Structure 1
Amino acid sequence: MTDTPTDLPRQPAVRKRASPELRIQEQPGFVLHSYMYKESSLIVDVFSRDHGRVALVAKGAKRPQSRLRGVLQTFQPLSLNWSGRSELRNLISAEWVGGMVPLESSVLLYGFYLNELLLKLTAREDPHPGLFDHYVTTLTRLGNTESAQIVLRQFELAILKETGVAADLSVSVQDGKKVDPEEIYVVDPEGGPRPARMSDIAPRVSGKTLLDMTNEDYSDPMTQNQSKLLMRALLAHHLNGAQIQTRQILIDLMQL
């Protein structure tokens, strides 16, 4: 007599091994954005140096007696401890480190613009230590009242380079040669610069502007103007049509 399927011996159930709890200590980071979670907690999106952008639950952070209350502020360098297995980790502690010039009210919107770029252009838990250092430098320069237009252009190009989507602005994709300072180009967001044609609707920039941007030299007013239009077009492409809210606020304020 043969065994029926119900007579077959049962195989022991294979238990999935739980992933080990990740514990991170004394990680440098900044708050990019936070919002309410339940009645007294916050979900905080932080940009850390060695772990990239991480979402943390700050339990009880809204309670008056919480040690986190008042600490989780934007543009303040923090030392962060967190743990957890899921994508949403638990914030254990956060301490203000200090050592940076606070942003004045006149440049706060520029700081929020940087944060919005990081939120929209970087992936969760994708480390970018070079971009983190550039962010710290940018906040410091804004705090020291350096030209916001120059500082922002440099950061915009840096974030595209660090996330791997920026083309080499100094080389023409048409022939692989260095761009000519005297020529006029358009920049393909997925390829790079090529000589401009009459039918092009993309922003036209001089070869000199492209070389200046590569060398982080924005002293020429023409470079400042052309790079602003170029970066606006490149960011719009890589954001897939998502609007940058802080930029629109800045435009509205300038019009007023």
Structure 2
Amino acid sequence: MKVRAATAAFVLHSHDWSESSLILDLFTRAHGRVVAVAKGAKRPYSQLRPVLLPFQRLSVTFGAKQGQDVEVWLLRQAEWAGGPAWPGGAAMLPGFYANELLMRLLPRHDHLPRLFDAYAELLPALTLPGTLHAALRAFELMVLRQLGHLPDLSLHSASGGPVHDDVLYTLHPELGVAEAQGEDAALPGWLMRQLESVLGPAFDPDSDGLPEPLLQACSLGSSDLRTVLRGVLHYHVGPQPLRTRQLMMDLQQT
């Protein structure tokens, strides 16, 4: 039976399939998001059992039956691919938020290697208090842009003209970039232009997963940017809210 070449992967979520097996939601570099069954992974002496954990980079292979017409792939092998151990702590909940965001927004089998690299670089950034919030905002922007849900931030969507540095703008899920009104969450035009200037090169296959200029731009307006992006993300996620985001908000209010 033919076994395909190995690819890098992360476990986004897992749940029991039988007494001995797991169903996995995987984010792979070669195949995008994949749902796979890991037969026997729950057995006490299974080599898969200590490996199939969130937040650690894996090298995985699948069975021959693959493609968009195959709902659940067969996981043949999974090995730890190196890298630092996940420290948990304050980074745990933001990490699960990123996983839930990918599971809710990514269609299966879309090849998104740039987004995979951004996710891989997001995880260690979450462990540093000084970069956690900026890294989350940068990752959200890259998810929206890679999936075609983010307009050109340097242009007023209705008129097509450039945004002005000293004008406040907001981002509507359907209308795009527009001048802020009343209580709208808003960002200054100069920041919108700066974000766009570094989001464009993010499609370069030779660029970093989370470009340092993007992290720096997100840190300049992290709180306002979070509010601006929240409405766009909720629109595309659908009526059922993200559980991890709500939990993070509840913990901040206690």
- TM-score tier by shorter-chain length is 0.7 to 0.9
Identity %: 38
Judge conservation of contact 1:43–1:57 (CA < 8 Å) in 2: yes
Structure 1 counterpart of 2:72? 88
Gaps of 5+ in 2: 199-213
Q: 1:204 to 1:144 in 2, by over 3 A?
A: closer
* Cα distance in 2 between the residues matched to 1:229 and 1:143: 22
For the residue of structure 2 that corresponds to 1:218, the secondary structure is helix
Cα deviation 1:113-165 (Å, max 9, x = unaligned): 11001000100111111100110111121234442111100000100011111
Structure 2 counterpart of 1:57? 37
Judge conservation of contact 1:186–1:196 (CA < 8 Å) in 2: yes
Structure 2 counterpart of 1:236? 234
Residue 202 (structure 1) shift? 4.4
Count matched residues: 232
Structure 2 counterpart of 1:209? 191
Identify the structure with bigger relative contact order (alpha carbons < 8 Å, sequence gap 6+): 2
* 1:43 partner letter: I
* Cα distance in 2 between the residues matched to 1:145 and 1:98: 24
Gaps of 5+ in 1: 1-20
Runs of 4+ in structure 1 over 6 Å off? none
* 2:150 partner letter: A
Aligned match of 1:30 in 6, 10, 29?
A: 10
Residue 101 (structure 1) shift? 4.8
Structure 1 counterpart of 2:160? 176
- Larger helix share, 1 or 2: 2
Q: 1:22 to 1:56 in 2, by over 3 A?
A: farther
Aligned match of 1:117 in 101, 112, 132?
A: 101
For the residue of structure 2 that corresponds to 1:45, the secondary structure is strand
Q: Which has the larger radius of gyration?
A: 1
For the residue of structure 1 that corresponds to 2:195, the secondary structure is helix
Moved more, 98-107 or 84-93: 98-107
Judge conservation of contact 1:212–1:218 (CA < 8 Å) in 2: no
Judge conservation of contact 2:171–2:229 (CA < 8 Å) in 1: no
CA RMSD of aligned residues (A): 1.8
Structure 2 counterpart of 1:192? 176
User: Superposed, which structure 2 residues align to 1:160-175 within 5 Å?
Assistant: 160-175=144-159
The normalised TM-score by structure 1 is 0.84
